[in-house]
């Protein structure tokens, strides 16, 4: 057996030279180490085919250890020993050497044992390797370098091809795969063999009989002969179809995820932008608002404000923020009380305060404020808007002044009317008296025309007297203080009807009335009022039987009386005009009167805090309404 390397591990007690000589005579190469302690290192260095080791089995635990270590290197060990006993052998089983050679050595047997051991070891190793190749899950194949026919293929290859070893061996790629694939494999094979290098093909497709198209990761290596020429081609292919599929779906999932992330990102950006714009918009709204707006924290300090606040206080935003809001009012206690009220009740409405400008100017305002809350619903502050009411206040003052002036001028006017009418009466009385005297004394001496003229003049003077009386009456309504009391209204109506008895009879009139309430008013003026309205109802009628009905309805805070007649009616266009002094819709020749009754009635109602109005249509009768407040 040529080239067999046997490492001899010597022992000083035994004579190794005989052994070495014997072994070398068989043609073995016999390197040696003097001590068993060096055996493992040496073996690692020279990797012998076999180790021969002297061993005194009895009690030598070190020897057993060395044998165990050598065995781990996968090198067969043969133990040389001087004597043999079953129990000792049993002891050394731990190390399980290949065999024992016991002195005295029989060279022939010795040779046999060595050759057998080496052969057995080789066979075992080959089998082991074959087993690996056969069972490895990757396809392993060998092709001959000339024809590229398969020389060997493992189980994984058979499965992938869908053919048995017998069917595959001796054939080439064209026998199993489509031309384009076989061309590709062949080209790669040739490349490997030509360049004599390992070729890594990360991805190649293989159309298989049983599993459809598979994707392989293949490595191809040339196997060279002693002369260095390629004799075979070794290929190892890993089926990466599932990996690729997983990679693909992973990539797809990743793409989808990426897309979603992008969508979500742009959504966030969009809503962020929207939010920014909304904030900006809200901010703008707040800023352009002419009303001073502030937000106040729970400690009463200003947290935000708009431009109007700066203008009304004279302080800048930076100066205002963080300061006590109540400092900017003429009455800071009242401001604080208002703020506490908002916290207590959730809001305040039209809370009056005065803002003090740093230059001393005062702005009267009405505050409307409400609490604002965080997402958890906790109150975190107050939002307050002030409405500047200085103009309103100024207008109010102006109005009051104007009313005052008007009252004075009314009073003066009434005074004037009273005085004028009173003073006019005297000369009028003189005119009338002298006219009558003239008539009495000279009636017979004057011609008919002159008498008529005197009559006209007397008539005119009488009319003027009536008008002056009415005017006096009218001015008296406003100028005199009247006593108000509760009384039964029915009594008034009855009194008026008694007063109007001649008129009622004259006109063949029927006056009816509902049950009347107790009212709070001036009795005398109520008589005047009812008398004016009832007499008008009777007077302005062309009916055979004139009907007048008085009714009343009670409203929450007033009585509304109505006096309805079936008379002439009034054109809608004149319904307002008739309440003006001396305004009449009929001539004196048609219906007697001075045109002051409704004006007086209106004045009476104003004095009572009530109103008068009429509803009518020409030819369809009229209804006069008036209201008297219920105190």
Residue ranges that bind ligand ADP, judged by CB under 6 A:
532, 536-537, 540, 565, 567-568, 570, 578, 584-586, 593-599, 622
Instruction: Count CB neighbours of 553 within 10 A.
Output: 13
**Closer of 248 and 606 to ligand ADP (Cβ):** 606
Pair of tokens at residue 501? 């008895």
Q: Tell me which residue has tokens 């990466």.
A: 240
Q: How many residues does the chain have?
A: 631
Sequence-ordered strand ranges (E) for 524-596: 546-554, 558-565
Q: What is the 3-state secondary structure (H, E, C) of 49-102?
A: CEEEEECCCCCCHHHHHHHHHHHHCCCCEEEEECCCCHHHHHHHCCCCCCEEEE
**Closer of 88 and 565 to ligand ADP (Cβ):** 565
Enclosing H/E stretch for 161? helix 155-161
What SS3 state is found at 108?
helix
CA pair distance 51, 43, nearest whole angstrom: 8
At its nearest, how many Å lie between ligand ADP and the CB of residue 414? 18
CA pair distance 95, 89, nearest whole angstrom: 10
Pair of tokens at residue 279? 């904030």
If phi > 0 it is left, if psi is from -120 to 50 it is alpha, else beta; for residue 277 that is alpha
CA pair distance 273, 251, nearest whole angstrom: 32
CA pair distance 327, 336, nearest whole angstrom: 9
At its nearest, how many Å lie between ligand ADP and the CB of residue 403? 26
**Closer of 528 and 532 to ligand ADP (Cβ):** 532
150-153 and 50-54: which strand pairing?
unpaired
**Closer of 76 and 537 to ligand ADP (Cβ):** 537
Chain centre to alpha carbon of residue 102:
96
Pair of tokens at residue 415? 């005074």
At its nearest, how many Å lie between ligand ADP and the CB of residue 588? 9
At its nearest, how many Å lie between ligand ADP and the CB of residue 513? 16
At its nearest, how many Å lie between ligand ADP and the CB of residue 484? 24
379-388 and 293-296: which strand pairing?
antiparallel
* DSSP secondary structure, 24-38, as one string: HHTT-B--EESSGGG
Strand partners, 355: 329, 363
CA pair distance 561, 605, nearest whole angstrom: 12
At its nearest, how many Å lie between ligand ADP and the CB of residue 351? 49
Q: What is the 3-state secondary structure (H, E, C) of 339-352?
A: HHHHHHHCEEEEEE
With 0-12 CB in 10 A as exposed, 13-18 as middle and 19+ as buried, what is 291? middle
**Closer of 232 and 540 to ligand ADP (Cβ):** 540
50-54 and 485-488: which strand pairing?
unpaired
At its nearest, how many Å lie between ligand ADP and the CB of residue 550? 13
At its nearest, how many Å lie between ligand ADP and the CB of residue 568? 5
At its nearest, how many Å lie between ligand ADP and the CB of residue 571? 10
At its nearest, how many Å lie between ligand ADP and the CB of residue 597? 3
At its nearest, how many Å lie between ligand ADP and the CB of residue 601? 8
- Which residues lie closer than 8 Å to 597 by C-beta, 6 or more apart? 532, 535, 536
At its nearest, how many Å lie between ligand ADP and the CB of residue 539? 6
**Closer of 92 and 536 to ligand ADP (Cβ):** 536
């Amino acid at each position: 057996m040529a080239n067999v390397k046997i490492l001899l591990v010597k022992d000083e007690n035994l004579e190794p030279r005989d052994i070495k000589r014997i072994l070398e005579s068989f043609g073995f190469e016999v390197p040696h180490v003097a001590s068993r302690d060096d055996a493992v290192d040496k073996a690692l260095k020279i990797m012998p085919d076999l180790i021969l080791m002297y061993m005194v089995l009895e009690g030598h635990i070190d020897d057993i250890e060395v044998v165990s270590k050598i065995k781990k290197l996968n090198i067969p060990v043969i133990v040389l020993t001087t004597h043999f006993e079953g129990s000792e052998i049993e002891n050394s089983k731990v190390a399980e050497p290949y065999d024992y050679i016991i002195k005295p050595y029989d060279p022939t047997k010795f040779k046999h044992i060595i050759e057998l051991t080496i052969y057995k070891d080789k066979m075992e190793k080959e089998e082991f390797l074959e087993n690996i190749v056969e069972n490895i899950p990757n396809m392993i194949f060998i092709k001959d370098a000339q024809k590229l026919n398969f020389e060997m293929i493992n189980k994984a290859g058979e499965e992938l091809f869908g053919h048995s070893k017998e069917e595959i061996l001796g054939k080439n790629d064209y026998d199993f795969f489509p031309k384009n694939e076989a061309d590709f494999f062949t080209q790669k094979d040739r490349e490997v063999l030509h360049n004599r290098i390992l070729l890594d093909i990360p991805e190649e497709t293989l159309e298989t009989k049983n599993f459809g198209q598979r994707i392989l990761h293949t490595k191809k290596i040339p196997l060279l002969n002693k002369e260095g020429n390629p004799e075979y081609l070794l290929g190892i292919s890993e089926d990466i179809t599932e990996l690729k599929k997983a990679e693909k779906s992973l990539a797809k999932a990743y793409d989808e995820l990426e897309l979603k992330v992008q969508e979500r990102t742009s959504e966030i950006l969009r809503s962020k932008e929207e939010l920014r714009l909304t904030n900006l918009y809200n901010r703008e709204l707040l800023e352009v608002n002419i009303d001073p707006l502030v937000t106040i924290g729970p400690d009463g300090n200003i947290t935000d404000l708009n431009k109007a606040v700066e203008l009304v206080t004279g302080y800048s935003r930076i100066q205002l923020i963080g300061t006590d809001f109540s400092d900017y009012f003429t009455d800071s206690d009242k401001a604080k009380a208002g703020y506490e009220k908002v916290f207590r009740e959730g809001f305040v409405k039209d809370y009056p305060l005065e803002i003090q400008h740093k230059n001393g100017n005062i702005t009267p305002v009405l505050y409307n404020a409400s609490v604002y809350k965080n997402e958890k619903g906790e109150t975190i502050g107050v939002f307050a808007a002030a409405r500047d009411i200085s103009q309103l206040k100024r207008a109010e003052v102006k109005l009051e002044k104007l009313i005052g002036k008007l009252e004075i001028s009314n009073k003066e006017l009434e005074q004037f009317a009273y005085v004028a009418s009173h003073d006019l009466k005297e000369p009028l009385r003189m005119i009338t008296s002298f006219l009558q005297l003239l008539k009495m004394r000279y009636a017979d001496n004057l011609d008919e025309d002159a008498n008529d003229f005197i009559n006209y003049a007397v008539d005119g003077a009488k009319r003027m007297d009536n008008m002056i009386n009415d005017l006096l009456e009218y001015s008296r309504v406003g100028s005199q203080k009247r006593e108000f009391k509760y009384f039964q209204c029915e009594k008034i109506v009855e009194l008026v009807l008694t007063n109007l008895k001649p008129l009622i009879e004259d006109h063949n009139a029927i006056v009816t009335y509902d049950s009347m309430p107790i009212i709070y008013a001036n009795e005398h003026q109520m008589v005047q009022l009812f008398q004016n309205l009832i007499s008008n109802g009777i007077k302005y009628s062309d009916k055979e039987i004139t009907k007048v009905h008085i009714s009343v309805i009670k409203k929450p805070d007033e009585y509304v009386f109505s006096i309805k007649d079936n008379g002439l009616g009034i054109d809608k266009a004149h319904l307002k005009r008739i309440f003006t002094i001396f305004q009449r819709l009929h001539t004196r020749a048609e219906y007697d009167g001075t045109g002051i009754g409704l004006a007086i009635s209106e004045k009476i109602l104003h004095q009572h805090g009530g109103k008068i109005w009429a509803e009518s249509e020409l030819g369809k009768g009229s209804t006069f309404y008036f209201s008297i407040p219920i105190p």
